[in-house]
């Protein structure tokens, strides 16, 4: 089976979120069973001197303008990754947003161009895919071009939603860039409130849809999480599947982590205390046995930052330490920096991102908090489990799928969940976790149980192979019914 994956991100090359990790992990795991190739943009941050240029100068038309572009290639962990190179659209810092977090004003034409150019790239390299796997709105325009291109007449399509909040919503006239029939611009496909919705159209046209957790596949069919498309996905639910993302245990594993003070395992769990001490030293915190709560992520409303802010001073009344790594809204950044100044020996803050600090926080914390408003999958809670750092999460999306609540009666579970999106629900759950922390036997039992869970990509790849087979059958049935 030949599988072509289109993506705007790939871990180690360009990353704005979990999409990068997901595509890198899945493509690597698929190699054992299929011939897989990945196509993505060559952003300014990807040095062309580290790539191999393909001897071709293909072009595409958007509306009535011709665009010539270059193609590069690099093999990463055995995966052939191809790059669409066009300076005007991708020769800048950032994938979708500028340094202030604002979306680029030309994101519409940038990623419509990429979607069309990626399909042309497949032709240039002579790759005839059985499956084209699209990811998020940045690749959605390819769905309609595939329908109209005889080169892909036998190709089935899969579309993965990594975050429904971002749909590729643009002015109606941008549909003209695709040079395709306007019959696709209708309320069941690309039209939404008189505008162009790329994700909506692609999910309607593709043979199969997946989300990055089972719970999220159900949630997007509700008004609360559907972002205006809940009825759309209800109508498509027979081809909608939830597959939880995997994680790369080669990278996130306390037994071999090169960033942490001391490697440890279930058998040598006591060494985790050395990582805790190292984390305290890194952030200048008091050297004591107070429970440490870690947070790594974007400082935006989706991540439940407002809940943490609302309870912060009350939380500081407890014997606790809090460590944060992230960036986002200025007001949120300033809040946590002010709390670091107010509680210098209890609060550690690093605005920005550091791979080293991320690993140190996972290894040195006792708890990891993710009180998200919504969370399609989430990865940090899964990393935390492997490090014996118990997650405190809101029961949404992938957080609900991966964290089983501790049950005192039979001591089952491996984390702490709450349901209501409120400060009191978060605070009460944290205080409950602290009570468990005070019982070393139970707390150690939960840590060891968490560390033995397996969310590796090998199992995830098997589920995607099933989806690819389903998509192939669905396409054949669809073709027969035309």
- pLDDT tens sequence across 28-64: 999 999 999 999 999 999 999 999 999 999 999 999 9
Residues 47 and 178 in one domain: yes
Identify the pLDDT of residue 388: 98
Q: Tell me: pLDDT of 100 over 90.
A: no
The alpha-helical segments, DSSP class H, found in 129-197 are 142-147
Is 61 contained in some domain? yes
Q: Which domain holds residue 298?
A: 269-451
Is 262 contained in some domain? no
Strand ranges in 10-109 using DSSP code E only, listed in sequence order: 35-41, 52-53, 59-62, 65-68, 70-76, 79-85
* Span 153-169, average pLDDT: 96
SS3 content of the chain, % helix, strand, coil (to 5): 40, 20, 35
Question: What's the pLDDT tens digit per position in 273-312?
Answer: 999 999 999 999 999 999 999 999 999 999 999 999 999 9
Q: What is the DSSP string of 277-336?
A: HHHHHHHT--SS-PPEEEEEEEESGGGTHHHHHHHHHHHTTSS-EEEEEEEE-HHHHHHH
Residues 277 and 380 in one domain: yes
Identify the pLDDT of residue 478: 82
Identify the pLDDT of residue 472: 96
* Span 317-342, average pLDDT: 96
Residues 291 and 416 in one domain: yes
Residues 117 and 224 in one domain: yes
Identify the pLDDT of residue 479: 82
Radius of gyration of the chain (CA): 23
Question: What's the pLDDT tens digit per position in 420-430?
Answer: 999 999 999 99
Is 256 contained in some domain? no
Is 253 contained in some domain? no
Domain count along the chain: 2
Is 263 contained in some domain? no
Contact 359, 382 (CB under 8 A): no
Kindly give, in sequence order, each residue whose CB lies less than 8 Å from that of residue 448, ignoring residues fewer than 6 positions away.
Answer: 266, 269, 388
Residues 85 and 221 in one domain: yes
Residues 279 and 385 in one domain: yes
Residues 63 and 160 in one domain: yes
Identify the pLDDT of residue 125: 97
Q: What is the DSSP string of 200-239?
A: HHHHHHSSEEEESSHHHHHHTTSTTTSTT-HHHHHHTGGG
Contact 347, 339 (CB under 8 A): yes
Residues 445 and 471 in one domain: no
Q: Cα 381 from chain centroid? A: 12
The confidence band for 162, taking pLDDT boundaries of 50, 70 and 90, is: very high
Which CATH number goes with the domain that contains 404?
Answer: 3.40.50.2000
Rounded to two decimals, the pTM is 0.94
Contact 42, 170 (CB under 8 A): no
Residues 230 and 284 in one domain: no
Kindly state the percentage of the chain with pLDDT values over 70. 100
Contact 189, 175 (CB under 8 A): no
Residues 212 and 197 in one domain: yes
Contact 65, 178 (CB under 8 A): no
Residues 146 and 217 in one domain: yes
What is Dmax (Cα atoms) for the chain? 70
Kindly state the percentage of the chain with pLDDT values over 90. 94
Is 150 contained in some domain? yes
* Span 463-467, average pLDDT: 98
**Which helix or strand (DSSP H or E) is residue 431 part of?**
helix 423-437
Is 264 contained in some domain? no
Residues 35 and 169 in one domain: yes
Is 260 contained in some domain? no
The confidence band for 98, taking pLDDT boundaries of 50, 70 and 90, is: confident
């Amino acid at each position: 089976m030949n599988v072509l994956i289109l993506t705007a991100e790939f871990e180690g090359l360009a990353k704005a979120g979990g999409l990068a990790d997901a595509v890198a992990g899945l493509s690597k795991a698929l190699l054992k069973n299929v011939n897989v190739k990945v196509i993505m943009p060559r952003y300014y941050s990807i040095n062309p001197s580290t790539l191999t240029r393909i001897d071709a100068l293909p072009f595409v038309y958007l509306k009535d303008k011709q665009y010539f572009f270059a193609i590069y290639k690099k093999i990463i962990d055995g995966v052939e990754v191809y790059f669409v190179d066009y300076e005007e659209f991708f020769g800048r810092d950032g994938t979708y947003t500028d340094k202030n977090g604002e979306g680029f004003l030309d994101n519409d034409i940038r990623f419509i161009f990429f979607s069309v150019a990626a399909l042309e790239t497949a032709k240039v390299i002579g790759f005839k895919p059985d499956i084209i796997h699209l990811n998020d709105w940045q690749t959605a325009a390819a769905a309609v071009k595939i329908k109209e291109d005889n080169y892909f007449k036998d190709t089935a399509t899969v579309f993965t939603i990594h975050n429904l909040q971002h749909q590729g919503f643009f002015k109606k006239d941008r549909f003209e860039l695709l040079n395709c029939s306007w019959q696709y611009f209708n309320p069941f496909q690309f039209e939404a409130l008189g505008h162009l919705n790329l994700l909506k159209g692609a999910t309607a046209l593709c043979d199969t849809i997946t989300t990055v957790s089972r719970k999220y596949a159900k949630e997007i069919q509700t008004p609360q999480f559907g972002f205006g498309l809940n009825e759309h996905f209800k109508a498509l639910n027979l081809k909608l599947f939830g597959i939880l993302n995997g994680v790369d245990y080669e990278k996130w594993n306390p037994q071999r982590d090169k960033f942490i003070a001391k490697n440890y395992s279930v058998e040598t769990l006591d060494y985790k205390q050395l990582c805790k001490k190292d984390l305290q030293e890194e952030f200048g915190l008091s050297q004591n046995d107070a429970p440490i709560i870690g947070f790594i992520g974007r400082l935006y409303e989706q991540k439940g930052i407002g809940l943490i802010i609302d309870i912060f001073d009350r939380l500081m009344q407890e014997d606790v330490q809090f460590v944060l790594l992230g960036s986002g809204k200025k007001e949120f950044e300033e809040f946590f920096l002010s709390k670091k100044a107010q509680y210098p020996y209890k609060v550690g803050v690093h605005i920005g991102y550091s791979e080293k600090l991320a690993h140190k926080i996972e290894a040195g914390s006792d708890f990891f908090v993710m009180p998200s408003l919504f969370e399609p999958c989430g990865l940090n809670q899964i990393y935390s489990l492997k490090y014996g750092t118990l997650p405190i999460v809101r029961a949404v999306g992938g957080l609900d799928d991966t964290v089983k609540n501790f049950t005192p009666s039979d001591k089952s579970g491996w984390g702490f969940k709450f349901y209501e999106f409120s400060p009191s629900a978060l605070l009460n759950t944290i205080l409950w976790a602290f009570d468990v922390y005070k019982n070393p036997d139970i707390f150690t039992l939960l840590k060891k149980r968490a560390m033995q869970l397996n969310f590796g990509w090998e199992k995830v790849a098997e589920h995607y192979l099933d989806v690819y087979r389903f998509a192939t059958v669905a396409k054949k049935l669809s073709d027969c019914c035309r």
